[in-house]
Amino acid sequence: MKAYDLADLAARNLRQSLLRNSLTTVGISVGVASLVAMLSLGIGLQQLASRRLQKSGLFDTVVVMSRRDLRNFNREQQNSGPAPADSPALDEAARQQIERLPNVREAYPDIRFITELRYEGKPHLTMVAGLPFSTKNNDAFDGMQGTFFSSETAPEVILQKAFAEELLGKRPKPGADEANVAELAKPLLGQELLMRYTERVENPGSPKSAGESRLTTRNEADDLPQASYSVFFREQKLKIVGLSDLDPDSMRGAARARVFLPLTLAEDLHVMQPSNLRDTSRTLGGSATYATISVRVTSPKYVQPVEDAIRKMGFNTFSITDATRSLRQFFAVLDLFLGIFGSLALAVASIGIVNTLVMAILERRREIGIMKALGASDRDVKKLFFAEAGAMGVMGGAVGVALGWMIGRVINVGTNVYLRRQNIPPEQIWAVPWWLVAGAIGFAILVSLVSGMYPAGRAARLDPVQALRYE
């Protein structure tokens, strides 16, 4: 039989018992809808989680340390690679070299120092950190009052909440709620702080680059004065532009300070770093080195190759890639479970298809007998029943996807209403990618055809003599 004849006859038969076939199709729709709704939420949550992780900057960051440093906490790295004394220095040249690696978005030094800030004449001692301009897009500063730095060298600061409390002379009462950031921000935004710091100035004749510094490892007393620099006492006025509610003890590297400066400004100030003094006592050369460099890669999947490349350069590295891997695993299992639960309804619907078609055989017994007497082959009859099952699958799949899409949407809207009541910004926790639509309809058709196998086989084997005798 030709395809259009098959479709025509199948459609005619489906119309014959419209109510029953519609109900069966509704059954499939409900099954597909539950599958789509479940998976759309699973996929949506996964996308939300990976969006969040991407934004947090945790999973696309590699922290680079010098092997000369004492801060080696990874035994494996300790025991492989060049000896600490022979390894390269983590200085500006190394930073530029790392930044030129493929898939590296940026590499910035971790600049931090403890110093005194004066507010209304009173001194406050605290940790100050340089903040790269790209942090603007991180969610770390989502709950910030005021604005981010106006430029990369603007003499501006963002304060951490606890430090703001200290400046205003407020003490958090035990048991009381956390201070409101907005309240703290009001008197502070736009005010000035005076930062006192020590500037490191290279002495003339001192080598500047890492390459030249190698020469100084020769143990000649005459070379030693080359590794020298002067330290000057400076003051810098800073304007308070923002107030962050971040917890200073959270694990984000750059956030572990109470006052933040634009990173480029911090670099330009040449503030004496704690590691500088330590380096001076060693015959390493005169150029300034960094304690650590943070490298941001373009995508979390490039963390491993970039780490490998940096290790090959002779540095130690650290990243949290394992966490993303186990997260992906978790969502794969979650999707599997959601899919299984979603498919349960479809399994029930498939029994409905079998039932409907078996009923149709009983009803159309005589008709099948006539068709066979007129020359329809077993295959024609089988194909006809498959076409009917497939048509119910297509319709049920299409309606089910639409229904599931709506259910997912409603759940999303409902969740967001709840989130808004809890003062949490709304989130997209639901996603219907095109492959889910195609997959769900395809799966519905597949389930329908499998369900149609038994009735179709039974109809095809029907004895025409018996069927024609049947009244």
Q: Comparing C-alpha atoms, which of 43, 68, 107 is closest to residue 295?
A: 107
Q: Cα angle at 298 between 91 and 159, to 5 degrees?
A: 65
Q: How far is the CB of 450 from another protein (least distance, A)?
A: 24
Name the segment binding another protein (CB under 8 A); options: 58-66, 79-87, 355-363, 461-469: 461-469
- DSSP-assigned letter for residue 177: P
Beta carbon of residue 8, minimum distance to another protein (angstroms, whole number): 8
Tokens of 306: 């970039």
Minimum gap (Å) between residue 19 Cβ and another protein: 16
- Give the bridge partners for 269, in sequence order: none
Q: Should residue 456 be labelled a site residue for another protein when binding is judged by CB under 8 A?
A: no
Sequence-ordered list of residues with C-beta below 8 angstroms from that of 74, at least 6 positions apart, any chain? 316, 318
Pairing of strands 61-66, 292-297: antiparallel
Residues 6+ apart with CB under 8 A from 319: 59, 61, 62, 63, 303, 307
CB of 379 to another protein, least distance (A): 7
Nearest distance in Å: CB 471, another protein: 8
Strand order in the sheet with 292-297: 104-109, 292-297, 61-66, 315-318
Residue 5 engages another protein in binding (rule: CB under 8 A) = yes
- Output the smallest distance, CB 384 to another protein, in A: 10
Paired strand residues for 115? 126
Answer yes or no whether residue 11 interacts with another protein by CB under 8 A.
Answer: no
2 versus 173: smaller Cβ distance to another protein: 2
In the complex, the smallest distance separating the C-beta of residue 377 from another protein, rounded to whole angstroms, is 4
Judged by CB under 8 A, how many residues of this single chain contact another protein?
Answer: 23
In 303-353 the beta strands, taken as DSSP E runs, fall at 315-318
SS3 433: coil
Residue 74 or 377 having the CB closest to another protein = 377
Residues 304, 61: contact at Cβ < 8 Å?
Answer: no
In the three-class reduction of DSSP (H, G, I as helix; E, B as strand; rest coil), residue 148 is classed as coil
Interface with another protein, residue 277, by CB under 8 A: no
Cβ nearer to another protein, comparing 208 with 366: 366
Is 468 an interacting residue with respect to another protein (CB under 8 A)? yes
Segment contacting another protein by CB under 8 A, of 4-12, 173-181, 215-223, 228-236:
4-12
Give how far Cα 262 sits from Cα of 153, 188, 230, 241, Å: 6, 18, 24, 11
**237: which 2 tokens?**
């006025």
Give CB contacts under 8 A, 24+ apart, made by 74-77. Answer: 74/316, 74/318, 77/311, 77/316, 77/317
Binding mask 346-385 for another protein (x = CB under 8 A): --------------------xx--xxxxxxxxxxx-----
As measured in angstroms, the least distance from the Cβ of 9 to another protein is: 7
Cβ closest to another protein, residue 161 vs residue 372: 372
Hey, which residues does 329 pair with through a beta bridge? Answer: none
Looking at beta carbons only, is 106 or 378 nearer to another protein?
378
Of the two residues 251 and 362, which places its CB atom closer to another protein in the complex?
362
* Minimum distance from residue 354 beta carbon to another protein (Å): 23
Alpha carbons within 13 angstroms on the beta-carbon side of residue 371 total: 20
The smaller minimum CB distance to another protein, of residues 140 and 371, is found at 371
Residue 465 sits in the site that holds another protein (CB under 8 A): yes
Does 7 engage in binding with another protein (CB under 8 A)?
Answer: no
User: Which CB sits closer to another protein, 387 or 401?
Assistant: 387
Judged by the rule CB under 8 A, the positions of this chain that interact with another protein are 1-2, 4-5, 9, 12, 16, 366-367, 370-380, 464-465, 468
